[in-house]
Amino acid sequence: MNMKKKAISVILALVMTASVALVGCGGSAGGGGGGGKATAETLQIGVENKGYGDKFAHKLAEAFEAKTGIDTMVVKSNSSDWTETALLAGPKNNDIDVIFDINNLAMKNLATAYYVDGYERAYADLSDLYNAPLEGYNTDKTLKELVYPYSLSACTWGGADKGYGDGKQYFVNWASGVEGIVYNKSLFAQYNLSVPKTTAEMFALMDQMKTLGNGTYAKNADGYEIYPFSYSGKVNYLHYPQMVWWAQYDGIDTFNNILQGKDANGNYTAESQKTIGKLSSFGIVADMLATENGYADPNSLSYSFTDAQVFFLAEQAFMMSTGDWLEREMSTNFEGNMDIAFMPIPVNSDIIANCTSITSDAQLSEVISYIDGEIAEKPAYVNDADLAYVKSARSMYCSEGNQHICYIPAYSNNVDAAKQFIQFMLSKEGQEIMLEYSYGNMAMLNVDTAQFDYYAKLSNLQKSKLSVTKDATYVGKNYVHPMYYAGGMEVCYNVMEMSFGVDQKSGSYKTAKQFWENEYAQVASRFDTMIAQAGVSN
């Protein structure tokens, strides 16, 4: 890792005082792109210049125009609400034909008939794109067959079997939005540390990290202590692994039911929120943040997410929970191919309680080694049911790709050209452009990433992301269901960091169980209202 000639303390001070409080920040409002001055026939592409930048949109527009002859231009903004403003401006005041969004209010808008005045639905139906093959992948599979189930669900508006919506697709995911635990490979190698396979191993590792400097914290080249992990008290980045640890314990189907307010039988009930997996996941985060454990810098609660990222990249922490936008956001402070990587999310050690043949964390770790292909023979003690359960847990990874959606306003005068552009963006040629110009990002397509020419040039971080998420079972918020977009159902209603990371003598401190009970109480107190607002029933 090469750092520009700035003192770490200066960088931290600057970032603390001038940080931008946006997930995936950057850029200013403006226009320009793949075409000249706009006319009524110009295909206009709108992009929000944040975590993945806007350069990819310009490059896509240029390549699409060269390929099709369709006049194309890009309009960009860094405003968090510009997409809604543009959409509601209507056909007389908005000429943007394709919108790359990162703030998924779309299902709520879709469910609101005539959300855009004069149009029953706010967005153009893209179902025909899902039933067509994509160009360049040497397969007859359709888009519907190539996207991850998580992506298909995020872009499909209910259906007859869901009790709401029409089962059509009005959006495509344009970014995988992968989040997880990133670690400094150089530091791990320097201190001969192994990537943990289970959460018990993770805590043992963090305890070890506190002793690497002759019984205390090791120090980096600038004399700063190296903590086990870095976090921000101002954003909930620890929700990324927390959701995975929750789903690992309860199982993905139960997890998704919970996000709809449903129990195991599919009935709407507040009691659905009191699962052991949810409590277990809070317990892991509570132990990570407990001040007496000393796993993070004591000043972490005051850090913004950019502060925490600088802290990590300055080699003052071995690990951090963050997203695949990290390199782009930190590119002004750090340069070069940083030796950092995503690790597979450690499996929640508490899942042993749900197994009949795995009785210790050592056995769980060995089964994971078999699943990962590190050992050839299946451990004799593990039965098929437990192996399948652990394999499912190991496959889970967090994504907010379901809020990175691309769509066409229903009133666009260029719907056919806009659909061609989206198909181009999803084609192999388009995804080559995405990989190169959006920091290794690509759509949620389950295709072999090694087939892309640009793959060899990706950073260590982005290669690791594509590796750990191959054939992933994605976990994330449920933007699709009415209980979320209309009822107000959330993954979490309170800030874990501000409950678990404060001094235990503080009045705001909560144990994992207290936090879990408080979360349930908030849902239970307004569950009937949520049901009514969502318009669902048992």
> How many CA atoms within 13 Å lie on the side-chain side of 479?
26
182-196 pLDDT, tens digit per residue, is 999 999 999 999 999
Separation CA 501–CA 290 (nearest Å)? 5
Chain centroid offset of residue 5 CA: 32
230-256 pLDDT, tens digit per residue, is 999 988 899 999 999 999 999 999 999
Spell out the residues 6+ positions from residue 252 whose beta carbon is closer than 8 angstroms to its own: 392, 396, 473, 475
Decide: 181 and 324 in contact? Cβ < 8 Å: no
| pLDDT value at 31 more than 60 | no
Q: What is the pLDDT of residue 118?
A: 93
Separation CA 195–CA 170 (nearest Å)? 40
| pLDDT value at 406 more than 60 | yes
Q: How confident is the model at residue 511 (pLDDT cuts 50, 70, 90)?
A: very high
Of the ranges 47-61, 72-86, 105-119, 367-381, which is most confident? 367-381
- Decide which of 214 and 80 is more confident: 214
Residues 185, 400, 276, 260: what is their CA dihedral angle, to the nearest 10 degrees? -170
Q: How confident is the model at residue 102 (pLDDT cuts 50, 70, 90)?
A: confident
Decide: 400 and 325 in contact? Cβ < 8 Å: no
Q: What is the pLDDT of residue 401?
A: 87
Q: What is the pLDDT of residue 334?
A: 67
Q: What is the pLDDT of residue 28?
A: 31
Average pLDDT over residues 437-446: 91
Separation CA 184–CA 461 (nearest Å)? 10
Q: What is the token pair recorded at 390?
A: 């652990």
Report the DSSP beta bridge partners of residue 172. Answer: 406
Q: What is the pLDDT of residue 37?
A: 58
For residue 261, give the nearest of 532, 535, 531, 533 by alpha carbon: 531
Residues of the chain with pLDDT > 90: what percent? Answer: 77
CA distances from 266 to 259, 473, 538 (A): 12, 21, 8
Domain 2-21+178-399 belongs to what architecture? Answer: 3-Layer(aba) Sandwich (3.40)
Decide: 277 and 352 in contact? Cβ < 8 Å: no
Average pLDDT over residues 53-63: 96
CATH topology of domain 32-175+403-458: D-Maltodextrin-Binding Protein; domain 2 (3.40.190)
- What is the largest distance, in Å, between two alpha-carbon atoms of the chain? 71
User: Which range has the worst mean pLDDT, 93-102, 334-343, 345-354, 444-453?
Assistant: 334-343
| pLDDT value at 440 more than 50 | yes
Separation CA 510–CA 512 (nearest Å)? 6
Separation CA 284–CA 196 (nearest Å)? 14
| pLDDT value at 23 more than 80 | no
Residues of the chain with pLDDT > 70: what percent? Answer: 92
| pLDDT value at 284 more than 80 | yes
Q: What is the pLDDT of residue 405?
A: 94
Average pLDDT over residues 509-514: 97
Chain centroid offset of residue 470 CA: 15
| pLDDT value at 15 more than 60 | no
Spell out the residues 6+ positions from residue 340 whose beta carbon is closer than 8 angstroms to its own: 1, 182, 183, 184, 185, 313, 326, 460, 461
Q: What is the pLDDT of residue 35?
A: 43
| pLDDT value at 450 more than 50 | yes
Stretch (H or E) spanning 157? strand 156-159
Separation CA 103–CA 101 (nearest Å)? 6
Count of other CB atoms within 10 angstroms of residue 208: 12
Q: What is the token pair recorded at 95?
A: 């000429």
DSSP, collapsed to helix, strand or coil, labels residue 478 as coil
- Decide which of 79 and 155 is more confident: 155
| pLDDT value at 19 more than 90 | no
Q: What is the pLDDT of residue 104?
A: 72
What radius of gyration, in Å, describes the C-alpha atoms of the chain? 23
Where does residue 145 rank: exposed (0-12), middle (13-18), buried (19+ CB within 10 A)? middle
Handedness of CA 139, 403, 512, 286 (dihedral sign): positive
Q: What is the pLDDT of residue 61?
A: 98
Report the DSSP beta bridge partners of residue 445. Answer: 147
Domains 2-21+178-399 and 32-175+403-458 fall in the same CATH topology: yes
Average pLDDT over residues 70-85: 91
Q: How confident is the model at residue 16 (pLDDT cuts 50, 70, 90)?
A: very low
Q: What is the pLDDT of residue 29?
A: 33
345-372 pLDDT, tens digit per residue, is 999 999 999 999 999 999 999 999 999 9
Decide: 270 and 527 in contact? Cβ < 8 Å: yes
Domain ranges for the chain: 2-21+178-399, 32-175+403-458
Average pLDDT over residues 280-299: 97
User: Which range has the worst mean pLDDT, 19-28, 121-130, 171-180, 411-420?
Assistant: 19-28
Spell out the residues 6+ positions from residue 462 whose beta carbon is closer than 8 angstroms to its own: 324, 327, 435, 439, 440
Report the DSSP beta bridge partners of residue 180. Answer: 322
| pLDDT value at 12 more than 90 | no
Count of other CB atoms within 10 angstroms of residue 97: 23
Separation CA 393–CA 349 (nearest Å)? 11
Q: What is the pLDDT of residue 89?
A: 94
| pLDDT value at 3 more than 50 | no
Spell out the residues 6+ positions from residue 150 whose beta carbon is closer than 8 angstroms to its own: 399, 401, 402, 444, 473, 474, 476
Q: What is the pLDDT of residue 71?
A: 96
